[in-house]
Structure 1
Amino acid sequence: MLTGRRGFIAAGASAVLAGLAGCSGTLGGSASGGGTTITMVLTPGTPSDIRTRYEPMRAMIEGELDEVTVEMQVPQDYSAVRPALNSEQAEIGMDDVTLISNPDLMDVYGTTVTGGSAFYFSVMLTNEDSNITQREDIEGRTAAFADRLSTSGSIFATYALKQAGLDVGDAPDGDPVDFTGSWSNHEVALEKLGAGEADAATTYGGNGMPHISSSYKSDFPQRVIDKSSALDVLDTESPKFRPFWWSFPIPKQPVYARKTWDSEYKTQVGDLLVNSDKGLIQQYYPEDYNEADLPFTTLRDTSIDDYQPVIKRLNNLGIELGS
């Protein structure tokens, strides 16, 4: 299905182990002391921050299902997720690129919903005093992106720059031609912009919205006003940046289980997530939990068809996700 010149997600067992941060304990949904341990691979990022965000989800599964322990693992990058599932070191994943790489290996629970929306946005930001006003202005500049396989932080933005007429070269795998690019993660991309190490940065709306002054809200596309779940965190953090491009609504991350996971808990976890709501998951907030960081309240029915826009961009950029 996905063809091109690159192979991001081909990895051996040693690479899988190296790609999971803080890997310890019982993996593979193994029985332990009369119960079971389920390993859930989170989206790549800063391990402490990501684990904190997903703590209510972890606590809810443990609290609602008897004799279940959930271990959260954070890979160093997206390329480590599918090998972890293939080698049965993990049971649950939640990123669209891994699902797209081989949907036949996964059973999809659904697409995450927060703030009443199952969509999010990719956004390009620049400093408020910058003369960048459109994508074409990136030519000759420096742009900071998230992980190379991040849908919102890399793939959508790189494709958008290509559609604007810029030569993206081998990006996101290699170097672009018409601008200088750096790839890291969502937080670092904004840090580079704020530190003057980049002229623009790309991230997802929930990460960028706090750094956007409310004075720019009147310029937001109507699609962002209608479908963003991050408007309530607008203008809540510093430094402040100015948006100059928004994607169309992108389906949020799916939550899926590996097809080879043969356990009654597989169905139980899926039913719990699909039937969850804000009232239920609020019961599992840790003390001083920041609700604005919550990445999940429930799941919406989804299929691979919902992610065709992502597949289109992967194909156009020549990204091969492996066989």
Structure 2
Amino acid sequence: MSKRRDFLKTAGALGSAGLLAGCLGGGDGGDGDNGSGGGSTNDTTDGEGSPSGNGSGESTSDSGEKFRDGTLNFIMSPSEPQEQMMAQYAPVKSYLNEALSVPTELTYGNNYSAVMSALDSGTADVAEMGPFAAALGVKAEKVNIVLQRKGYGSYTYVSTIVTSADSDVSSLSDLKGKTIAFADRLSASGALFPLYMLKQAGLSIGELPQSDGGADFTAQFAGGHDKALAAVNTGQADAAGVGEFITLNDNREQKEGIEYVKKYEGIPRAPIAVSPLLPEEQQSSVTQALLDSPESMYLGEDGEADTDDDLWFSDVREADAETYQPVIDVAKQLGIDIGFLEG
């Protein structure tokens, strides 16, 4: 695999897992349940709710490989606004079109649960996911992890709890009785690890993230890292649990107007996963294609390095569920039932 850029300029959630048609498409912005448009909802069900295409739900592409509707469906998790992610992943779509000789469609998931549901149902073939959602998905046999992404020179990243620069919050204990915004119930850096930090600081997290209530603070699930951070900036929340990436500007420096209360380092960076319903040879072909991808795939819609639409990651390597065991270990320490999506 060729060396790629280690540093890029760009910085760069629960509901039950339901039908894709009810979970995907335009949201109102942020964190991956983005919103501003640009993406197709890519509804692949007919009027009766069954997969379109032939009787098996699959058809044969020009290359002889089978994909649902003869199309490789790539779904994105809501980590950044929809319009931004559509621009970032445009070269991924183009590259996979050519590498696999099959049309590729991009879809934006309204939340992490929707992405998992799409892979589980086979409506999506491949997805970029958050670590916690993917790890839970593996445990529930809903997804197969195949790759791990590298960004900013590392295969690990950072979760933060932040507050406004003029806040009187200086430690996690100060958040008792306050309102905390989180990115998404299934976000590792935007819920799981912030909750872990809060519990380690002596605060009760109640039944979070499965259900609200019983915590020493009021939790808001904003539906995206950017929206959780915005809740702090607008005074709707006293603090936010988010990935460090959303707190940094284009120069990888701390954004003005916020202060870090606590950080957790060393979280395994987000995976790419495939549907368990995808035949093994197709899982392998998608995985190998992404391993062999050229640097241009990471440069965004404008095709130029170090611009705002670059992908946040610069390389991938093979991975599996074991890579994300540290995430599951923290979930177990919090008493989180890893099958809570089933309810």
Distance 1:24 1:174 in 2: 32
1:245-296, Cα deviation, whole Å (9 max, x unpaired): 111211111112123212754322211212335x342566426783575133
Hey, what does 2:83 align to over in structure 1? 48
Native 8 Å contact 1:37 1:70 kept in 2: yes
Native 8 Å contact 2:300 2:309 kept in 1: no
1:130-183, Cα deviation, whole Å (9 max, x unpaired): 222221111122211111111100111012101111111122221353112211
Could you tell me which of 233, 252, 255 is aligned with 2:272? 255
Higher helix share: 1
Could you tell me which of 115, 136, 144 is aligned with 1:101? 136
Native 8 Å contact 2:147 2:316 kept in 1: yes
Hey, what does 1:227 align to over in structure 2? none
Hey, what does 2:99 align to over in structure 1? 64
Report the residue type matching 1:52 in the other structure: A
Q: Which runs of 5+ in 1 are unaligned?
A: 1-7, 211-229
1:180 to 2:184 alignment: no
Native 8 Å contact 1:189 1:202 kept in 2: yes
Distance 1:283 1:201 in 2: 30
The number of aligned residues is: 290
Hey, what does 1:310 align to over in structure 2? 327
1:172-220, Cα deviation, whole Å (9 max, x unpaired): 221353112211121111111111111111211111122xxxxxxxxxx
Shift of 1:243: 1.1
Native 8 Å contact 1:99 1:106 kept in 2: yes
Change (3 A) 1:176 1:240: farther
Hey, what does 1:81 align to over in structure 2? 115
Alignment of 1:11-160 (within 5 A): 11-12=17-18, 15-21=19-25, 22-24=40-42, 30-31=58-59, 34=62, 36-45=70-79, 46-66=81-101, 68-95=102-129, 96-103=131-138, 104-160=141-197
Distance 1:292 1:49 in 2: 7
Distance 1:113 1:48 in 2: 22
Report the residue type matching 2:323 in the other structure: D
1:196 to 2:235 alignment: yes
Distance 1:282 1:10 in 2: 33
1:91-135, Cα deviation, whole Å (9 max, x unpaired): 112323343224255443210112332111111111112222221
Secondary structure of the structure 2 residue equivalent to 1:233: coil
Hey, what does 1:233 align to over in structure 2? 252
Hey, what does 1:163 align to over in structure 2? 200
Report the residue type matching 1:181 in the other structure: A
Distance 1:107 1:131 in 2: 44
Native 8 Å contact 2:87 2:301 kept in 1: no
Distance 1:32 1:291 in 2: 37
Deviates more, 1:148-157 or 1:87-96: 87-96
Native 8 Å contact 1:114 1:294 kept in 2: no
Report the residue type matching 2:216 in the other structure: D
Native 8 Å contact 1:143 1:182 kept in 2: yes
Change (3 A) 1:24 1:151: same
Shift of 1:44: 2.2
Secondary structure of the structure 1 residue equivalent to 2:248: helix
- TM-score by structure 1 length? 0.79
Distance 1:283 1:76 in 2: 24
Native 8 Å contact 2:20 2:118 kept in 1: yes
Shift of 1:32: 7.1
Could you tell me which of 302, 308, 316 is aligned with 1:299? 316
Report the residue type matching 1:178 in the other structure: D
- TM-score by structure 2 length? 0.75
Native 8 Å contact 2:87 2:300 kept in 1: no
Secondary structure of the structure 1 residue equivalent to 2:235: coil
Native 8 Å contact 1:114 1:298 kept in 2: yes
Distance 1:86 1:300 in 2: 23
Report the residue type matching 1:179 in the other structure: F
Secondary structure of the structure 2 residue equivalent to 1:39: strand
Query: C-alpha root-mean-square deviation of aligned residues, in Å?
Result: 2.8
Native 8 Å contact 1:112 1:295 kept in 2: no
Secondary structure of the structure 1 residue equivalent to 2:42: coil
Change (3 A) 1:272 1:138: same
Report the residue type matching 1:108 in the other structure: I
Secondary structure of the structure 2 residue equivalent to 1:247: strand
Distance 2:133 2:233 in 1: 31
Hey, what does 1:205 align to over in structure 2? 244
